[in-house]
A = this chain, B = another copy of it.
């Protein structure tokens, strides 16, 4: 794990064991946010979105959010009316303890789908959670929200803006079911800078688009995903969206999102490789991104990555499957890091299996496709498909 995360003024955290499942670990995280903060979020696009997502969406629309409550072990998804009620109850529990209103609490759940949330356990754990709130608890927080993750995911930055030190800290969880549009992934990023609500609303979308919407572990999208960005406003004055300070802060915030997103891919279920897929000179950004995902999500490409087998036929197949209209395959080049494997749509003259294999044997590398038909370029991050992936997913519930 990286170095400990710094406190973010205006934010306190508390991780406690609520025994959501029969385990010995922190599984409930409470995040308290100072009055006057801006809070923005993006949520899963799965039609079967979970009860806490529905409740969180309704609450955040009213603004003035003061607390987040996150539990691991149970997703409270596909739980019908009763699920909505338990999500609401947990917000009420937090509200009572913190003397705020229930609509000022955002609930989040991650874990098994379709089982009822043991809400009483959560309510019982809340007083202890509130007593335990502290600024310096980001690292235990990162552990409390883990499910099949093998390690906590954290990232931070500090910046000097107008003579003030501004801090950014972020945590994330998610390993399986990672896909664009927010897949079983939870991320919480906070800064003490002051950013107006509409500015933050745009910023979270841009940050997610540059980070969590560019990763893929297995192409499935979950019912519970959410990414929350908090600007507590505890330090310094409001940062105007056209200022140099804002540009600097925005870049750092996006960096933190990217670092967290990459950490999720690197911890993909059973993953042994971290692979960047870059598509250059496409006709449009949409075309480039679709092709990058087609390559990065193909089970045949992913098993070839696992085998350290530079099976360029599978790469070419995935390129051909990406729905790019009137694709002139004779113009296509493909590179594995600096090694050219495809030239003019066929195997590059200079290519040797040995050189390709050397690249694929690395734990991290880049596959670059050049379509030579436009000026749009996009990239995604993916991982390989291993025996371990099947084992984890075939045995998850038992």
Contacts and interface: CB of A to CB of B under 8 A. Distances in A.
Contacts of A318: 220
B220 A113 contact: no
A397 interface: yes
Contact of A320 (B49, B324, B397): B49
A357 B206 CA distance: 44
A113 B79 contact: no
A344 interface: yes
Interface string A285-306: 0000000000000111001101
A367 to B, nearest CB: 15
Nearest to A325: B47
Contact of A177 (B46, B317, B319, B397): B317
Interface in A367-398: 385-387, 389-391, 393-398
A48 B320 contact: yes
A282 interface: no
Interface in A197-223: 218-223
What's the number of copies of this chain in the assembled complex? 2
Contacts of A320: 46-49, 221, 223
Given A47-B329, A114-B316, A299-B220, A394 B304 contact: yes
Contacts of A82: 346
B46 A218 contact: no
B300 A176 contact: yes
A300 B47 contact: no
A48 to B, nearest CB: 3
A220 B303 contact: no
Nearest to A314: B113
A317 B390 contact: no
A303, A307, A342 — most chain B CB neighbours (10 Å): A303
Given A309-B397, A316-B113, A398-B309, A321 B390 contact: no
B114 A324 contact: no
A236 interface: no
Q: Which interface class (under 10, 10 to 19, 20 to 34, 35 or more) fits A? A: 35 or more
A391 B298 CA distance: 16
A117 B313 CA distance: 14
A128 interface: no
Interface in A38-90: 46-49, 75, 77-80, 82-83
B46 A77 contact: no
A312 B79 CA distance: 12
A220 B312 contact: no
Contacts of A298: 219-220
Interface in A214-259: 218-223
A151 interface: no
A176, A327, A390, A396 — most chain B CB neighbours (10 Å): A390
A222 B322 CA distance: 12
Nearest to A394: B307
Nearest to A307: B394
5 contacts: A47-B324, A48-B327, A48-B345, A220-B299, A387-B391
